[in-house]
Amino acid sequence: MAEARLRIPRQEFEQRVRKIQEIMNAHDIDLLVTHACECESANVRYLSGFWAVFDFAGVLVPREGNPILLTGGPESYDFAKQFSEIEDVRIHPMYVETAAPEWDKPTEEINFGSIVEEFHQHFPIKTIGIADSNIIPYQIMKDLQKGAPDAEYKEAQWVINKVREIKTENEIALLKEAYRITEQAFIDSLDTIKPGVREWEFEAAWRASAYKMGAEGTSYPIWITSGDTTFQSLCRSSDKLIVDNSMVQITVGAKYNGYCGNFCRAVVLGEIPKRHEYMINVARECVDETVELIKPGVSFASVYDKFQQRLAKNGFSGLNLYGPAHGTGMQEVECAWVDNRTDKVFQSGMVFNVDIWIADHQYGVRIEDGLYVTDSGVELFASYPREMIRL
């Protein structure tokens, strides 16, 4: 019998809310609004443990008292009551899926006006912070503004980012398992890669292995590219046949109880052009150097500048999309990006994917590994060699 999945205990969800409330009070934010859909679930899941399906979800965090989880329709209400670590779950009719039915089952619906009036009994709602502002639907935002017409609205994703960027021991444990599954599934399915196999066949083999080990899904829509499409940073696995004398780009990640693993490697069958081989080797050197440089107290800018110097030294200036690492956790990409346009420094408890992507319009490669910052340095989540994998 398989063991039950690791999970975040309820008291840690409560601690997250209290930390956010401390920041809200320090910055005079009376209400924080978060939003989620199935593919952009992180903030709501971080606060409640609930991962919506079909319908939307949102968590309202008041500056004092307990949070409220909003979702749409009677089926999502029952679903949320089962999985949410927030006790107060309510149905807002605008949180239903885009093709929702006319419900036959009676529901007790609310709107933002009634919620704001409820909070007003304890404290005035003068300032509302909006997290996830880039994905909140127009109609929901309109209802919020109608319910609190005199409030000042502020962008407030930074409030929840500030709490999420330092991981707890429980979060690190979940991340370790997500990366373990991701890497082991790659090892289990590596012999699938051979001439005549379609790109999606390797993806299918990897998925089967990952799910058997307890993955709940993938960290992002994973993909395999090969040959003349390896220069694409984003793609989908296709019907394309893997052929001899080509490079295969592996980009996979398992999600485990909300936390994202990630693993990117270059696999080579036969001989490939020397420039492409050289590009792969330089990418590996960049990963190795970045991992070695990251330590508590080290500035993001210094690590970014070293990365750019190595690209320039090897003739690849301008062929990267961004800096050498980014935060990760409940999203495969989280704040913050490692670049020289910030004064941030690495801190113990931060988690990153060292993500080296180099490409021209003919060849490309991504080598990526996850790590977390410890009191004295870093600890890697994966141990598989970064060298070019020759089959």
In whole angstroms, give the CA distance from residue 168 to residue 350.
Answer: 9
CB 72 within 8 A of CB 55: yes
Same domain, 160 and 236: no
Last residue of one domain, picked from the residues 144, 164, 184: 164
In a domain, 184, yes or no: yes
Q: What is the per-residue pLDDT for 71?
A: 95
Phi, psi of 228 (to 5 degrees): -85, 5
Same domain, 138 and 182: no
> How, if at all, do strands 254-256 and 259-260 pair?
antiparallel
> Which residues form the domain of 304?
169-390
We report the CATH number of the domain holding residue 183 as: 3.90.230.10
In a domain, 2, yes or no: no
Same domain, 136 and 40: yes
In a domain, 285, yes or no: yes
Same domain, 57 and 204: no
Task: Give the residue ranges of the chain where pLDDT is below 50.
Answer: none
In whole angstroms, give the CA distance from residue 19 to residue 21.
Answer: 5
Q: What is the per-residue pLDDT for 236?
A: 96
Same domain, 22 and 137: yes
Same domain, 154 and 58: yes
In a domain, 5, yes or no: no
Cα dihedral across residues 347, 259, 131, 78: positive or negative: negative
Q: What is the per-residue pLDDT for 1?
A: 67
Same domain, 141 and 196: no
Q: What is the per-residue pLDDT for 100?
A: 80
In a domain, 1, yes or no: no
Last residue of one domain, picked from the residues 105, 133, 164: 164
Same domain, 198 and 60: no
Q: Write the pLDDT tens digit of every residue in 222-252.
A: 999 999 999 999 999 999 999 999 999 999 9
Last residue of one domain, picked from the residues 112, 135, 164: 164
In a domain, 64, yes or no: yes
In a domain, 4, yes or no: no
Same domain, 138 and 186: no
Same domain, 285 and 341: yes
Q: What is the tally of structural domains in the chain?
A: 2
Same domain, 207 and 275: yes
Proportion of the chain above pLDDT 90, given as a percent? 94
